[in-house]
């Protein structure tokens, strides 16, 4: 999943990180940069926080997600894409269930599978 806001802010020198917040499994969005974001940028980041967190999660997924992606690709496992999307929605937080992320998860899965197949040669 690509986030235009994430891309724009990165070009302005901002960096983003997901950190454990201690609440459920929902990570905290940490923003750092060359200067403090102005009020409008802070407001925009707050409004877009769930989609920013989703984009960051899918850019650098945790090990459990990678293992689950392998299972979704293997027809011998019963794990379905919607179950994986539900896990992502729960982990990222602030999203309206698996339906809100299933397309982004499917896109990430396809990109990851293509990269995996290219490396395998």
Identify the band that residue 70 occupies on the pLDDT scale cut at 50, 70 and 90.
Answer: confident
Does residue 30 carry a pLDDT above 80? yes
User: In whole angstroms, what is the distance from residue 1 CA to residue 13 CA?
Assistant: 20
- Tokens of residue 112, six digits: 């990851």
Q: What angle do CA 28, 31, 35 make, to 5 degrees?
A: 155
Lowest model confidence (mean pLDDT) among 40-49, 50-59, 78-87: 78-87
pLDDT tens per residue, range 92-119: 887 877 888 888 888 888 887 777 778 8
Identify the band that residue 67 occupies on the pLDDT scale cut at 50, 70 and 90.
Answer: confident
In this structure, the dihedral spanned by the alpha carbons of residues 94, 98, 99 and 105, taken in order and rounded to 10 degrees, is: 100
pTM of the model: 0.81
Structurally, the chain folds into a number of domains equal to 1
Residue 78, domain extent: 4-120
In this structure, the dihedral spanned by the alpha carbons of residues 4, 100, 30 and 111, taken in order and rounded to 10 degrees, is: -60
């Amino acid at each position: 999943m690509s986030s235009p806001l994430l891309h724009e802010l990165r070009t302005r020198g901002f960096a983003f990180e997901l950190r454990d917040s201690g609440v459920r499994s929902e990570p905290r969005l940490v923003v750092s940069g060359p200067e403090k974001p102005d009020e409008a940028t802070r407001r925009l980041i707050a409004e877009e926080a769930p989609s920013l967190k989703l984009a960051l999660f899918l850019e650098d997924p945790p090990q459990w997600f990678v293992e689950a992606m392998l299972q979704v690709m293997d027809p011998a496992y019963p794990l379905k894409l919607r179950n994986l999307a539900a896990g992502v929605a729960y982990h990222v937080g602030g999203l309206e269930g698996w339906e809100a992320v299933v397309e982004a998860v499917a896109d990430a899965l396809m990109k990851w599978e293509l990269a995996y197949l290219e490396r395998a040669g």
